[in-house]
Amino acid sequence: MTKRFCILLTAILTGLLFLSVGTLALAATAETAEPKEKIMIQNEGYAKDKKGPVAFDHVAHTKAGVTCNECHHVYKKAGENTWKEGDEVQKCSECHDINENTEKDGMKVMKLQNAYHRNCKNCHKEEKKGPYKKCNDCHAKK
Ligand code: HEC
Ligand code: HEC
Ligand code: HEC
Ligand code: HEC
């Protein structure tokens, strides 16, 4: 083998290596942003945990035309949601305190139960689809 050929081969192999590492990294990010079909919303730590957990179906909502950012958000300023598909998804409870309303960068961040109810129930009520009257249409019996 000539020296030149060796250099070329090394260059190609290195290129391939970077390409596969890149693809793997991409696949990993895509995976973290892909929701599981059915999840159980069951946060621990409510001062009074009166109600059973709530099942939530991503696919049923996506099929009904609800977009990700109607539920997932990141606000640096009030009213400006900068979250977009592919971004990391944080748990609601990472920002909405489980037991009290808080404030962040001048924005009011309502406590977790109210955040969920406002998000889930308001939309169902407005669209006249999905449960909002009967508690146990969302909450499993305890
Ligand atoms: C559209 C669905 C939906 C409906 C309808 C609904 N909830 Fe909830 N509720 C939730 C979700 C989601 C949570 C968050 C559960 C968690 O964090 O574990 C929650 C949390 C709560 C909590 C705090 C956590 C706990 O388990 O105690 C209470 C209390 C509660 N709901 C009461 C009610 C009552 C009373 C009604 C009926 C008047 C009702 N909810 C109707 C979705 C709903
Ligand atoms: C990264 C932090 C963060 C996460 C995660 C987060 N929120 Fe919020 N949320 C906020 C902030 C900050 C505001 C106040 C925004 C404003 O004042 O414009 C807010 C406002 C809201 C509001 C009232 C305004 C609106 O959009 O209707 C609801 C309801 C809400 N969040 C529900 C949720 C739910 C449900 C989840 C989980 C699916 C969630 N939030 C996850 C930070 C967060
Ligand atoms: C109708 C509301 C709603 C819509 C629409 C929605 N999500 Fe979610 N998603 C939630 C809630 C609620 C959770 C649970 C949050 C928690 O545990 O605090 C969640 C959790 C997740 C998680 C982490 C848990 C898991 O299942 O792996 C990912 C990732 C996610 N959503 C991505 C998406 C993407 C991508 C879309 C759009 C294709 C989307 N979501 C649309 C409400 C929604
Ligand atoms: C922006 C609108 C919107 C938001 C926000 C929303 N939903 Fe829904 N939901 C719908 C629509 C539309 C349907 C009807 C879907 C169908 O008929 O297939 C529905 C149906 C449902 C149903 C009955 C069908 C099923 O999936 O079993 C449940 C339970 C439900 N939603 C729970 C929730 C919970 C819990 C949340 C909050 C974490 C939530 N939804 C947030 C629009 C919304």
Q: Is the CB of 54 under 6 A from ligand 4?
A: yes
Ligand 2 mean position, distance from CA 96 (Å): 7
Residue 129 region, left (φ>0) first, then alpha (ψ -120 to 50), else beta?
beta
Closest ligand 1 atom to 132 CA? 5
Q: Is the CB of 118 under 6 A from ligand 2?
A: yes
Largest CA-CA distance found in the chain, in angstroms, rounded:
78
- The pLDDT tens digits for 34-49 are 788 899 999 999 999 9
Ligand 3 mean position, distance from CA 133 (Å): 23
Terminus-to-terminus CA distance in the chain, angstroms? 74
Burial class (CB in 10 A: 0-12, 13-18, 19+), 57: middle
Ligand 3 mean position, distance from CA 88 (Å): 10
The confidence score (pLDDT) of residue 5 equals 58
Ligand 4 mean position, distance from CA 124 (Å): 7
pLDDT band, very low/low/confident/very high, at 30 (cuts 50, 70, 90): very low
**CA atoms of 120 and 140, how far apart (whole Å):** 16
pLDDT surpasses 90 at 81:
yes
Nearest-5° angle of CA 39, CA 43, CA 47?
A: 155
pLDDT above 90 covers a percentage of the chain that reads: 73
The confidence score (pLDDT) of residue 16 equals 52
If you take atom 42 of ligand 3, which residue's CA is the nearest one?
71
The confidence score (pLDDT) of residue 32 equals 56
Least confident piece of the model among 3-17, 73-87, 109-123: 3-17
